[in-house]
């Protein structure tokens, strides 16, 4: 396993929180719809991988209620600890190495997390051991290879291409 540093490690606290909140405001509505579609509800036991600033962790926690549970794993838990419900456990750890047992979860969900892990295939294999028979694995990951900026100044187009190719190098082992 290669040594892994999350690309945004060391980002100033407010800047990182702003970035995570932007992700949430852009992607939460569709994420919630997807999770509604798989049926997340009372009594489910769920794992949220790379929980970030916690909006989906909190939403799942409400959906599963007092008879369900949420385990939220992140290497950086500073934005998660302020609003933890009684059915939620925050685990500070690296998803590649943290021990989460086997066959426990009705749902394993992650968003914009595998993108940051060069060994994403082995993480996915590990995730396959974590959910119960009939459980759901839901990962929402971007495909930057398809990203194109169609309008804007020449400088903006170049900047967009530079950012896109930088992002694409993140997952190269
Ligand atoms: C781009 S953010 C996405 C946050 C959240 N899933 C969302 O979409 O709003 C990636 C998150 O994964 C966490 N992370 C990065 N590498 C990780 C790893 N190896 N194990 C666990 N968490 C990790 C980061 O700390 C960060 O909170």
Say how far apart CA 29 and CA 15 lie, in whole Å: 23
Exposure string of 7-35, with b = 16+ CB inside 10 Å and e = fewer, is eeeeeeeeebeeebeeebeebeeebbeeb
Please tell me what DSSP assigns to residue 65: G
Q: Which DSSP string corresponds to 116-148? A: G-TTHHHHHHHHHTTEEEEEEEEEE---GGG--
- Cα–ligand 1 centroid distance for 168 (angstroms): 17
Q: How far is the CA of 146 from the centre of ligand 1 (A)?
A: 22
Nearest residue by C-alpha to atom 16 in ligand 1: 6
Which residue has the CA at smallest separation from atom 26 of ligand 1?
52
CA 96 to ligand 1: nearest atom = 19
The pLDDT tens digits along the chain (173 residues) read 555 577 677 677 888 899 999 999 999 999 999 999 999 999 999 999 999 999 999 999 999 999 999 999 999 999 999 879 999 999 999 999 999 988 899 999 999 999 889 889 999 999 999 989 999 999 999 888 888 899 999 999 999 998 888 888 876 66
CATH 3.40.50.150 fits 13-142, yes or no: yes
Residue 40 has which token pair? Answer: 């997340």
| pLDDT at residue 70, rounded to an integer | 97
**Pocket of ligand 1, beta carbon within 6 A:** 4, 6, 20, 23-24, 50, 52, 73-76, 94-96, 111-113, 116-117
Q: Which residues contact 166 (CB under 8 A, 6 or more apart)?
A: none
**Looking at ligand 1, which atom is closest to the CA of residue 94?**
20
């Amino acid at each position: 396993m290669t040594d892994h540093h999350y690309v945004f490690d060391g980002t100033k606290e407010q800047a990182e929180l702003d970035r995570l909140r932007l992700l949430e405001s852009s992607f939460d509505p569709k994420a919630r719809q997807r999770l509604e579609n798989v049926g997340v509800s009372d009594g489910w036991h769920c794992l949220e991988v790379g929980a970030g600033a916690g909006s989906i962790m909190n939403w799942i926690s409400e959906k599963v209620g007092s008879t369900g549970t949420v385990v939220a794993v992140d290497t950086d838990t500073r934005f998660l600890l302020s609003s933890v419900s009684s059915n939620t456990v925050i685990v500070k750890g690296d998803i590649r190495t943290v021990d989460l047992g086997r066959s426990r979860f009705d749902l394993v969900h992650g968003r914009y997390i595998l993108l940051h892990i060069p060994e994403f295939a082995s993480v996915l294999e590990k995730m396959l051991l974590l959910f119960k028979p009939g459980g759901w694995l839901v990962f929402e990951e971007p495909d930057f290879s398809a990203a194109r900026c169609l309008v804007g100044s020449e400088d903006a187009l170049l900047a967009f291409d530079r950012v896109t190719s930088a992002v694409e190098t993140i997952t190269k082992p």
